[in-house]
Amino acid sequence: MVYTQEKKLKIFISADMEGISGIVHSEQVSPEGHDYNIARKWMAEDVNSAVEGALEEGAIEIVVNDSHGSMRNIIPDDLHPKAILISGTPKPLSMMQGIDSSFDACIFVGYHSKAGTGSSILDHTYSGASIHSIKVNGLEMPELGINALVAGYFNVPVIFVSGDLEVCKQAKSILGEKVVTVAVKESFGRTSAKLLPMDEARKRIKEGVKEALKNLSGIKPFKLNPPFNFEIEFLYSSQAEMAELIPYVKRTSGRGVSFTTKDFIEGFKLMRALIALAPAR
């Protein structure tokens, strides 16, 4: 394989797991599940396909942040040798750890739709045990939207998203029609889907990344105007009770809280802390 070096691009990849090719069930995305060990290899293969596409379009540095659960899913030996892996948790920027203004583009591989999406594999928003919805400046966001705002904070555009058909629709709706999406499966419900053949899915991921990078100049970073008002609707009132103990966090309903920050990253970190504080019931 010959890689072009003309563009000298630096690429950030955030890799989740629910939207990876072949995955339809929670047993495939949890270390306790019987299918986890093969599914984590599928995850690496999807990511490697994105890496190959980026390399062929001139990437000279590619950082991959393992962004699912324990964030220790990708086995380093399985990752493309030209990619750098960020592994483990907790991390200050969680799924976006490692992003900064030196990157030219951001890629989301294996992403899933927001909590409450109909017919979508393992839909949730950051925590299936605690979060009903998250809004920023009045807009309900899936993880891809909030993470894209983190990238936008550093003036980095999200140019590509892969996952099921519903998350691809959400990506277009939030980030705009120019973002390239690849649907590797079409969901029938929360734990069933029609899957693309694995080789075809990875071919489409690679070609999709190449297409996105060819059109990089036409895709702008995703940003909202400050101040940033976060509205979090928990699943249980006890979770909102814990959240409102934090200064500047206001209770808005039995299960809801809100807070406002001038700096988006400060708000993002507070959001993550409130999710971590939420008890299971």
Q: What residues are annotated to the active site?
A: 124
**SS3 category, 237:** helix
Strand ranges (DSSP E) for 166-221? Answer: 180-189, 192-195
> 258 - beta bridge partners?
231, 250
Q: Tell me how far apart the alpha carbons of residues 160 and 74 are, in angstroms, rounded to a whole number.
A: 20
- What is the pairing mode between strands 228-234 and 158-164? unpaired
Q: Which two tokens stand for residue 256?
A: 């809801």
Report which secondary-structure segment, H or E, holds 165: helix 165-175
> 250 - beta bridge partners?
258
227 prior amide bond cis, ω within 30: yes
